[in-house]
Structure 1
Amino acid sequence: MGAEHRTVKIVVIVVVVLLVIGGILGLTLGLLLNQRYVELEVWPRTDDYKWEEPLIQFSPSNKGTVYPWIKRINDFLRPYETTIPEDPPRAPCSIHNREEQQIRSNNCEMAMRVWAPCTIDEYYGYTMGTPCVFLRLNYLHYWVPQPYNVSSSLAIPTEMPEYLKQFMIQRPAQMFGDYVWVSCGGELNSDKENIGPIQFIPAGLPPGFPLSRLHTADKIPYANRNLPDQTPPPLIAIFFENPRREVLINVECRIWTRDIYYDPYSRVGRARFELFINN
């Protein structure tokens, strides 16, 4: 009996130790995954990109300062090139300007109109001082978003922009599917005054990413989560209609889902960049 009693105690101790170790490992993995939980990327960006100070600076009248940004956008959009874009198109389908006499399919021509003015045909607005900045989500393979929609009984945050609430009403999730909603604006009060009006492109579509096009953790086998997507994730663009020049503008964009707690000092689900347009 004594030997059996000791054996039971040993088994219990081993089980408890394993549970403790498992809990510590789970917590550690949770913290590590939270660092790459979901990232809202900003493009274009420089080779020495820093999240804390991602500056986009150029002078519309100086081609030497404009074309490096156009090239960076073209390099970024190259994987999205296609002659048969989806409907609605997930990105501009060509990085070749009409002036280059590039032959496009009718579908691609229509897609480029949908994405105007954030296309190479208009040099992404940089030659006019009205730049486009592209956003996309990264680290989706580790994330199962919990979207906001009007059909849920859970309250929508009061601080959510009114235009997002209106889109939820106009495009109910039961008919159009759920979205990871996106908002952008000036980071500080002075930035809100200087940023001017902005548009989300494609215009007329909800400002956000449709869940049906996101390869999130609930849609892929666990073994494939470290593998790259065969299809690049969808984009949205911010078009700055009339930003003030000779002033540094801090821009903040964030995603809205029930599972992400907004923290102005965190990178999770949030992006920021600085815009400075010289005369």
Structure 2
Amino acid sequence: MPTITEDCIDGFQQYYARPPERPKKKSIKQMIYDEDENSYFGRTIESWAKIGIFYIVFYVVLAALVAICMWAFFQTLDPRIPKWTLDRSIIGTNPGLGFRPLPPVEMVESTLIWYKGTQHENYKHWTDSLDDFLAVYKVPGLTPGRGQNIYNCDYNQPPPRGQVCDVDIKTWAPCTKENNYSYHKSSPCIFLKLNKIYDWMPEFYNTSTDLPHNMPENLKTYIAEIEKTEPHKLNTIWVSCEGENPADQENVGSVNYLPVRGFPGYFYPYQNSEGYLSPLVAVHFQRPKRGIIINVECKAWARNIKHDRKDRLGSVHYELLID
């Protein structure tokens, strides 16, 4: 009669016994289909069916939960009105100023506008870039709504609710496509636009007696003249462009602003209305000095627009080099 110790040893040896040797081909075949247990890859057909049904149900339920969560999330969003605006948004309340044309894509970090006015192929990039940028202004059908809600605004005639102000491209002359934006005359036009901030309303400098000390003198004089002759146009975000340094100020020459020296107040506030186009100011540099880099800084002026040269708040910098 075997003892308890012998039984333990026999059980141990049986448990850890090497499985019977099989040819490699037969082992692979048995792994795929085991005739003894009628199983495929270690599971019977019934077992595979159960686990398949489980995962199908699991992923269907998971997808349904995700869909419900996404549906609930999108119910909180408005396709036209952002959830967070002004001080509560990342953009904030200080609009930036942008310029066109931009340098080629391979020079994306550059702000230098460099060309030869006597060579069409040399300045073609700049005029083509402006053509592309201004196309939506020239063809109202390119905007959402196909221009059906465009309204001819004025300072005493703001747009009705749901309509947007027209941007009259005829007032940009000589900064037009037909005139090559005056690049062929070495007196280029640069277009400025104010970045859009939903529901932001400018606080205008609409009196000549309360202008900031750092505002250019020629702009102060311009505002004083408007105050005397056309006071209804004082509700404007004023614009100034001048050389950054004393040498640049000498080299930049005279500057003309078209159609007016700023962005009319009736374009604001921006409320993402269908077909809205930002107002533009064409800055015409009439006689910039050739063969030298001119650093130019343009600023937008309103009581609630802050300027910071380092962070480029309320302003934009670019360089002109005309050979």
**56 and 142 in structure 1: CA distance in 2 versus 1, 3 angstrom threshold:** farther
Work out whether residues 33 and 142 of structure 1, in 8 Å CA contact, stay in contact via their aligned partners in 2: no
CA distance in structure 2 between the partners assigned to 1:91 and 1:45 by the alignment: 23
Match of 1:13 in 2: none
CA distance in structure 1 between the partners assigned to 2:274 and 2:320 by the alignment: 31
TM-score by length of 2: 0.60
**SS in structure 2 at match of 1:134:** strand
Equivalent residue in structure 1 for 2:178, among 109, 121, 129: 121
Match of 1:33 in 2: 91
CA distance in structure 1 between the partners assigned to 2:241 and 2:106 by the alignment: 20
Unaligned runs of 5+ in 1: 1-25, 93-110, 221-226
**SS in structure 2 at match of 1:141:** coil
CA distance in structure 1 between the partners assigned to 2:199 and 2:106 by the alignment: 24
Work out whether residues 257 and 281 of structure 2, in 8 Å CA contact, stay in contact via their aligned partners in 1: yes
Q: After superposition, where does 1:182-221 map in structure 2 within 5 Å?
A: 182-202=239-259, 205=260, 207-216=261-270, 220=271
Q: How many residues align?
A: 217
Match of 2:58 in 1: none
1:161 equivalent in alignment to 2:216: yes
Equivalent residue in structure 2 for 1:147, among 191, 198, 204: 204
TM-score by length of 1: 0.68
Work out whether residues 214 and 233 of structure 1, in 8 Å CA contact, stay in contact via their aligned partners in 2: no
Work out whether residues 44 and 72 of structure 1, in 8 Å CA contact, stay in contact via their aligned partners in 2: yes
Match of 1:242 in 2: 287
Equivalent residue in structure 1 for 2:317, among 252, 272, 278: 272
CA distance in structure 2 between the partners assigned to 1:52 and 1:187 by the alignment: 19
CA drift of 1:168 comes to: 3.0
CA distance in structure 2 between the partners assigned to 1:272 and 1:164 by the alignment: 18
- Residue by residue over 1:112-153, the C-alpha shift from the partner in whole angstroms, topping out at 9 and shown as x without a partner, is xx32210112110111111000001112325322111118x8
Residue identity in the other structure for 1:271 = V
Unaligned runs of 5+ in 2: 1-83, 141-149, 155-165
Q: After superposition, where does 1:7-156 map in structure 2 within 5 Å?
A: 30=88, 32-34=90-92, 37-48=94-105, 53-82=110-139, 86=152, 90-92=167-169, 111=170, 114-141=171-198, 143-150=200-207, 155-156=210-211
- Residue by residue over 1:187-206, the C-alpha shift from the partner in whole angstroms, topping out at 9 and shown as x without a partner, is 1111111111111122xx3x
CA distance in structure 1 between the partners assigned to 2:108 and 2:175 by the alignment: 23
Higher mean C-alpha deviation, range 129-138 or range 167-176: 167-176
Work out whether residues 94 and 304 of structure 2, in 8 Å CA contact, stay in contact via their aligned partners in 1: no
Which one scores higher on RCO, CA 8 angstroms, separation ≥ 6? 1
CA distance in structure 2 between the partners assigned to 1:234 and 1:189 by the alignment: 30
CA drift of 1:266 comes to: 1.9
CA distance in structure 2 between the partners assigned to 1:265 and 1:52 by the alignment: 16
